[in-house]
Amino acid sequence: MKRILASIVLAIASVCIVEGQNHSFSLSGKWNFQIDREDAGVREQWFKKSFDDSINLPGSMPEKLKGDEVTARTQWTGSLYDSSYYFNPYMEKYRMEGQVKLPFFLTPDKHYVGVAWYQKKVTIPSNWRGERITLFLERPHIETTVWVNQQELGMQNSLCVPHIYDLTSAVSPGKTCLITIRIDNRIKEINVGPDSHSITDQTQGNWNGIVGRIELQTTPKVHFEDIQIYPDLNNRKAVVRMNIQSAATTKGEITLSAESFNADIQHTVAPVKQSFSIRPGDNPIEMELPMGKDFLTWDEFSPALYKLTATLNNGKQHDTKQVQFGMRDFKIEGKWFYVNGRKTMLRGTVENCDFPLTGYAPMDVASWERVFRICRSYGLNHMRFHSFCPPEAAFIAADLVGFYLQPEGPSWPNHGPRLGNGQPIDKYLMDETIALTKEYGNYASYCMLACGNEPSGRWVAWVSKFVDYWKATDPRRVYTGASVGNSWQWQPHNQFHVKAGARGLSWAGARPESMSDYRSRIDTVKQPYVSHETGQWCVFPNFNEIRKYTGVNKAKNFEIFRDILNDNHMGSQSYDFMMASGKLQALCYKHEIEKTLRTPDYAGFQLLALNDYSGQGTALVGVLDVFFEEKGYINAEQFRRFCSPTVPLARIPKFVYANDETFHADIEVSHFGAAPLQGAKTIYTIKDKFGKVYAHGTFGAGGTDDTVGTAGTSTVSTQTIPVGNLCSLGSVDLALKGIDTPQKLNLEVRIEGSDAVNAVNDWDFWVYPAQMELAHGDVYTTDTLDEKAISVLKEGGNVLITAAGKIQYGKEVKQYFTPVFWNTSWFKMRPPHTTGIFLNEYHPLFREFPTEYHSNLQWWELLNKAQVMQFTDFPEEFQPTVQSIDTWFISRKIGMLFEANVLNGKLLMTSMDVTSQPEKRIVARQMHKAILDYMNSDAFRPATTVSLEQIQGLFTKVAGDVKSYTKDSPDELKPKIN
């Protein structure tokens, strides 16, 4: 028996969102519901029938557990770049019915792509007579068609703005009507691209439903159809452009007033009035609102906002609207952005629409305010939205926080659609950016716009017209054609560029330093250059995070990776791997961001991302998890040392020294604060881990050299630090001859200003003895398992095998000093495959080799492009002493140094090169000494026994390369196969 449709009688005293005759009431709650798998509803006129099922709105079908169970045959919206899931025998258990787990991205509880119908009976209040009545659907997904009392009112398709239907002619106040909504989330003629973050299962998912506000709203017949506010700071006014719609000729009066509402200083703008004559249809009207000489401005430091009140009086009716805006000027001069005339550097992250609990972007202001305030706490001031536009709540929150936004058209027109080829995407993207600018254009935080991400096709000509249109149409923000990678063409009409190519670290081919910058890659670019998707340094999964996934999407990819680690007898090390790889990740972000800050005329960066990305193979690139929560290895205060409005910088030629050298650092500052720093004083300190001070001094305003020990300083008097980067503050020199034992030292630079700015940053460096002798003692050293080594082991002796370059079993693992980029699944096992090392820093081996439990810069000499050994055939309880952390898709037990009982003797073996060029490679030399001294000590007591055959297998066994590529991959991501 079919359920009876619920009827809601709406009270006259319904909630008003604006003054006057504008009313609204919510349609949230129970709706009748029906899935239309065969898309038969229009043909069978389902808008005339009652539905058997029900659903609570707002919400998505997956959120309400509507749809299909996920199986290995589920057709996903998005490219699957590693098809091995479907044929790998290990993955068979994750393909079984009812036990499906996906490695590509999060696994939803339910999945449905197709048509669904939603229906509700509503009684229209009788006092709405004479009003214009509309149905407001804040964020449906994707295409809606509406019937009222069996009358079709049209179809809309937007991923960016509310769908609004005029119901006036179809309803009668005081009577009940039947509202039926058909929603279709299939990709049809309009294809934004299956990997677009607006729709793909890699991010929010391609869901069917309606989220946000669902309302009936009223306006007078003569009403404001649109209000756009154009701040003019130079002339102390706001230009207000309105469109008034009317069904008849009439006359009336418009009153404009404004008042600040979120600043410590209250500012009220005197009202202005203007009479008007109106014709039927659209009536554009422009008025000026003088803001007075004391008006407040909006920026990241003082985000003062106003509410404009616009009242339209028309005899018996009046229409009142309130519009939030800020007096803000976001311009470009040369290669820099200027906010209200002040040079500004963008420190940004990319928001990928990855919200696991709901599967869609938050629709409330509080959730977005939380995200933006967390980003601010990490020193950021900017966010790009990758191939999607957030809902209005994000703009409201960013306005309140003082955060610069770059929404995009909802498209990654690649991997299917092509831009500029005459496909429907061309018109759709233009229409979408026009609609989102009309809807959100008054928000001060809406500062930048791109059409989308990394297009293909004849796209350059298309985006050139796109930028030209927007430059001529709306001066309130700046425009770029598309956010693109390095291999994409230049876009000559861009006002600014979001482009890769000037990012990354050169550590694969050169030792770490902090002298270099990216100037050679951007010096010919005339417009502001913002780095595209900076970072992408991976960290090992945090399996403790799994319990957080209590909503629509579950972290079953993490469960797979946990199983793999357990099956390889390393499950107890998961937290250690996460922390150790996280320390390396944070180190990489520090040095990449600082390299950007050191670059002349570098206008900004966009991280991909501050938080993890759950899709595209599971890209754990964030220092925060996907929920914007800390993982444990770095916090906001530590991150702000190298990412904030004011960052001390040090140009240091290297980070490893012999004690017959002098440490030298040139100190600079990148300062993009609210104003120049007056009376700034710079303080430096060099100390060891116990706090012993080796050098201390000041330079700057009235500074004196208080150097301790053997340091020397050349002092530069800097009374004022201007806004900008490359401001030289002075230099530090420390003769290292008094340091006789291996030490890690730390240079800290602190800038203090009279305006309470307190910026601090620091850098580790290492000092080793210039002269030393290796004591071989009773250790037999060889580079292979030769006959003498076997004989020594049989006789109970100690053997050191330095096997660098001779390993076979492990040769397939490519290790750099830097960690995995994005992930090895998405990029087809592109090197590197590891995410740093883990070790027990308390092991007696490291008494003469200062180290933490993770990779740090002194390890570069030993780790970068060095071979690893694979220990799959070793005993389960065996763990290497220096353990490399493998890609979590495979989690092979690998390492670079181990010890074991072999035959009657004791063996230590390393694949690190600790013997070549000892006069140049002082870190390797020190490691060699530490190994020998340890092996000659009573502390050399291996805990595990390994067979001779297992040792020999490291030289002879071949594992072979991992083959994970598939035809389901765009050409630019396929590996080069010879």
570-615 confidence digits (pLDDT tens): 999 999 999 999 999 999 999 999 999 999 999 999 999 999 999 9
Alpha-carbon span 221 to 962, nearest angstrom = 67
Alpha-carbon span 237 to 693, nearest angstrom = 57
Q: Partners of 147 in the beta sheet?
A: 152, 180
Mean pLDDT on 333-353: 98
The predicted pLDDT at position 964 comes to 65
Residue 64 token pair: 């309400």
Alpha-carbon span 934 to 936, nearest angstrom = 5
pLDDT(307) > 90:
yes
pLDDT(52) > 70:
yes
Mean pLDDT on 560-564: 97
What's the mean pLDDT when you consider all of the chain? 93
Question: Using an 8 Å Cβ cutoff, are 130 and 195 in contact?
Answer: no
Phi/psi region, residue 23 (left: phi>0; alpha: psi -120 to 50; beta: rest), is beta
Mean pLDDT on 747-765: 88
The predicted pLDDT at position 86 comes to 85
Q: Determine what percent of the chain is predicted with pLDDT higher than 70.
A: 94
Amino acid at 884: S
Alpha-carbon span 269 to 265, nearest angstrom = 13
178-206 confidence digits (pLDDT tens): 999 999 999 999 999 999 999 999 999 99
pLDDT(14) > 70:
no
pLDDT(12) > 60:
no
196-244 confidence digits (pLDDT tens): 999 999 999 999 999 999 999 999 999 999 999 999 999 999 999 999 9
Contact residues for 908 (Cβ-Cβ < 8 A; gap 6+): 798, 799, 800, 801, 897, 898, 899, 931, 934, 935, 940, 942
Contact residues for 769 (Cβ-Cβ < 8 A; gap 6+): 658, 659, 740, 741, 742, 926
365-399 confidence digits (pLDDT tens): 999 999 999 999 999 999 999 999 999 999 999 99
Q: Which of 908, 884, 941, 832 minimizes the C-alpha distance to 573? A: 884
The predicted pLDDT at position 916 comes to 97
Least confident of 138-152, 274-288, 822-836: 822-836
Stated pTM of the model: 0.94
Mean pLDDT on 444-454: 98
Question: Using an 8 Å Cβ cutoff, are 617 and 822 in contact?
Answer: yes
pLDDT(703) > 90:
no
Least confident of 83-87, 304-308, 768-772: 83-87
The predicted pLDDT at position 961 comes to 80
How buried is residue 492: exposed, middle or buried, by Cβ count under 10 Å (0-12/13-18/19+)?
exposed
162-176 confidence digits (pLDDT tens): 999 999 999 999 999
Mean pLDDT on 871-897: 97
String of DSSP letters for 58-79: SEETTTTT-SB---TT---SS-
The predicted pLDDT at position 475 comes to 98
Alpha-carbon span 766 to 663, nearest angstrom = 10
The predicted pLDDT at position 716 comes to 45
pLDDT(710) > 50:
no
Q: Where are the alpha helices (DSSP H) in 503-545?
A: 519-522
For the chain, what's the residue count? 978
Least confident of 113-117, 331-335, 474-478, 697-701: 697-701
832-866 confidence digits (pLDDT tens): 999 999 999 999 999 999 999 999 999 999 999 99
> In the structure, what pLDDT confidence band is assigned to residue 717 with cuts at 50, 70 and 90?
low
Question: Using an 8 Å Cβ cutoff, are 225 and 232 in contact?
Answer: no
The predicted pLDDT at position 189 comes to 94
925-952 confidence digits (pLDDT tens): 999 999 999 999 999 999 999 999 999 9
644-663 confidence digits (pLDDT tens): 999 999 999 999 999 999 99
Q: Partners of 385 in the beta sheet?
A: 351
Alpha-carbon span 370 to 52, nearest angstrom = 40
pLDDT(97) > 80:
yes
Give me the long-range contacts of 565-569 (CB less than 8 A, separation at least 24): 565/888, 565/891, 568/872, 568/891, 568/892, 568/893, 569/876, 569/877, 569/893
Question: Using an 8 Å Cβ cutoff, are 180 and 144 in contact?
Answer: no
76 vs 970, which has greater pLDDT?
A: 76
pLDDT(418) > 90:
yes
Mean pLDDT on 339-348: 98
The residue whose two tokens read 């933490």 is: 852
The sign of the CA dihedral 672, 673, 675, 679 is: negative
> In the structure, what pLDDT confidence band is assigned to residue 827 with cuts at 50, 70 and 90?
confident
Mean pLDDT on 37-61: 97
953-964 confidence digits (pLDDT tens): 999 999 988 776
